[in-house]
Structure 1
Amino acid sequence: MKNQTTPSKIKVSFSWSGGKDSAFALWKIQNDSIFEVRRLHTTFGEETRRVGLHGIHEDLIMAQADSLGLPLDKIFYPAIGDNQAYEKAMNKYLDVLESEGIRHIAFGDIFLEDLRKYREEKLAGRGFHAIFPLWKMDTTVLANDFIKAGFKTLICAAIADLISKEKIGMDFSKEFLESLPEGVDPCGENGEFHSFCYAGPIFEKALELEAGGILSKSYDIPLATGAVDKKHYWFAAIHSLGSKSH
């Protein structure tokens, strides 16, 4: 009988935002036998050291990575909305992955076609491949499956015109889902709200968090038409108290 060699797994770097979609997508891909997630990478504003419109500080992302048992690569770029700076920073990171034989990157995107096309085209130009473990899942089903699986995440940011201030800092739960206004996606896939995941089946230990109040800030969001859309956001001021066993 001939010896059969086991095919090597596809090495992956995971694009980690710290939120529920990232957490659920990571869980999915870690349970797929053909992939091996080697590391996480997160982009931060160079000045703020926070994750884009999530408002999450790098210390909290590092605490997540520690509990996940995965190395975290931090990618800094000068300013929100500066796409050239973002692409320059990402290309530099792709050089690092290429040197390590990693040519696949996973994302937690669900149904934003333009974003998927952008990611795939930019990666293909460098000989990389994009993976979308949650692609085209029904977001109502996904949101409920996330809760049933035992994940815990809190609402860390939201558009003020859509989500009331009282909901910032609360857990993503059935009660939260039932309170969402009509037209708001259950997973916030259109950017209505963002979350920070602090416990669940992928974590060795749950993170202990402390909410230090609600902050507000407005941003000018560039539109494809060339116009600018001003949006007002709520942010939860979250601090880590460490971690605890489940």
Structure 2
Amino acid sequence: MTNAVLSWSGGKDSALCLHHALQNPGLRLTHLLTTLNEHYRCVAMHGVRAELLEAQAERIGLPLVPVWLPEMPSMEVYEQRMTDALEHLAAQGVRTTVFGDLHLQDLRAYREQQLARVGWQAEFPIWHKPAAEVMREFIDLGFRAVVVCVNDQHLDQSFCGRELDEHFLRDLPPGVDPCGENGEYHSFVYEAPYFSRPIAVARGEQVHRTYRPAADTENANNDCYRNEPSPFGAGFWYQDLLLAQP
């Protein structure tokens, strides 16, 4: 049996990938690996707060290995911090990473190349599954998720914060990948077949922001979302999610 770590974003693709990996008798999942923005303490691109990822890991029953990255990391910084994390895992007998990628061949080739450099292998359980099939399986298995980020070049603000369900999929404009594979949207899974219990979340404010280096680090732990105007005419809408109070 192969020990493996799963690349975990907290969204639908990694969640469905985990479902398939758990069904593979040849894999033994030992950890979840997540990259986070160390300034805002959120998942890069998704904007999901670190405590929500920790809640997912607790309900899954696997330890979360965070890889903290600066706001706009260079490739050199990104690759070095990922290498450090993999070396830590390799010392525990892990040398395989499982990814939830679907169709982006250049991204898969990059992952395989970088892992090969340090003697690791990659697994892609849902690779090339048709988008409609992925979404149907996700919904039919009982996963539930909130859309937490939309690219305003593809989707307007009204799509942000919605449940990721059949109604959401029916409303997608022509040309938008149902899985958001081209970066159209990202999600947060709050209920899954393998969760010990659902995660109760409360919706906070919606903000529009762009990716540019933060000017300061003041209040970084509490300010995951900045309402910044876009100097480029395009950006992202984010739905802030908070752990609901019991």
Q: Fold match, TM over 0.5? A: yes
Q: How does 1:154-193 map onto structure 2 within 5 Å?
A: 154-193=146-185
Q: How does 1:143-154 map onto structure 2 within 5 Å?
A: 143-154=135-146
The alignment covers a number of residue pairs equal to 227
Q: Contact 1:155–1:167 at 8 Å: present in 2 too?
A: yes
1:237 to 222, 234, 240: 240
Q: Provide the C-alpha distance between the structure 2 equivalents of 1:24 and 1:167, rounded to a whole number of angstroms.
A: 21
What's the TM-score once normalised by structure 1's chain length? Answer: 0.89
Q: Provide the C-alpha distance between the structure 1 equivalents of 2:77 and 2:106, rounded to a whole number of angstroms.
A: 20
Gap runs ≥5 in structure 1: 1-8, 221-228
Q: Contact 1:207–1:242 at 8 Å: present in 2 too?
A: no
Deviation, 1:115, is 0.3
Q: Provide the C-alpha distance between the structure 2 equivalents of 1:10 and 1:230, rounded to a whole number of angstroms.
A: 47
Gap runs ≥5 in structure 2: 213-231
Q: Provide the C-alpha distance between the structure 2 equivalents of 1:230 and 1:22, rounded to a whole number of angstroms.
A: 30
Deviations 1:48-101 (A, max 9, x none): 111111001111100110111111111101233522211110010111111111
Q: How does 1:49-60 map onto structure 2 within 5 Å?
A: 49-60=41-52
The structure number with the bigger radius of gyration is: 1
Is 1:86 matched up with 2:78? yes
Q: Provide the C-alpha distance between the structure 2 equivalents of 1:57 and 1:20, rounded to a whole number of angstroms.
A: 16
Structure with more strand by fraction: 1
2:55 matched to which residue of 1? 63
Deviations 1:140-167 (A, max 9, x none): 1111110011000110001113212122
1:32 counterpart SS class: coil
What's the TM-score once normalised by structure 2's chain length? Answer: 0.89
Which residue identity lines up with residue 133 of structure 1 in the other structure? P
CA RMSD of aligned residues (A): 1.4
Is 1:101 matched up with 2:93? yes
Q: Provide the C-alpha distance between the structure 2 equivalents of 1:230 and 1:13, rounded to a whole number of angstroms.
A: 38
Give the percent of matched residue pairs that are identical in Structure 1 and Structure 2.
Answer: 35
Deviations 1:19-71 (A, max 9, x none): 00000000000011111110101111111111111001111100110111111
Which residue identity lines up with residue 232 of structure 1 in the other structure? G
2:39 counterpart SS class: coil
